[in-house]
Structure 1
């Protein structure tokens, strides 16, 4: 959980996105994870680790995981 929390502030290192997806995959969803997912969705900035074309794919992946958590 701690590894994925910086995503809520827009810190989109790839390992953080993977950690968020693993939390979803293993079904460990608590209020902190839901709060992080909501903060990701509410963030108007692209969440990515670097610029360029990967910004869009990185952002889409982290938001998809966040939406899945909140479902």
Structure 2
């Protein structure tokens, strides 16, 4: 996947072979912390954590927290 390749190239370039070994787990932990943080703030605002709910979304009404879909021409 992209995350594995990215972490091997980045950490391997910075720290050599040892960076390749520790890069993947480190990137996985950082990615998971970021995902959990975003989901925490979405739940705090009473919004959906499901990515598919935002696929065809134009914007969200702030007052009522309603999803407004894109208008098809």
Higher alpha-carbon Rg:
2
**TM value normalised by structure 1:** 0.31
**TM value normalised by structure 2:** 0.30
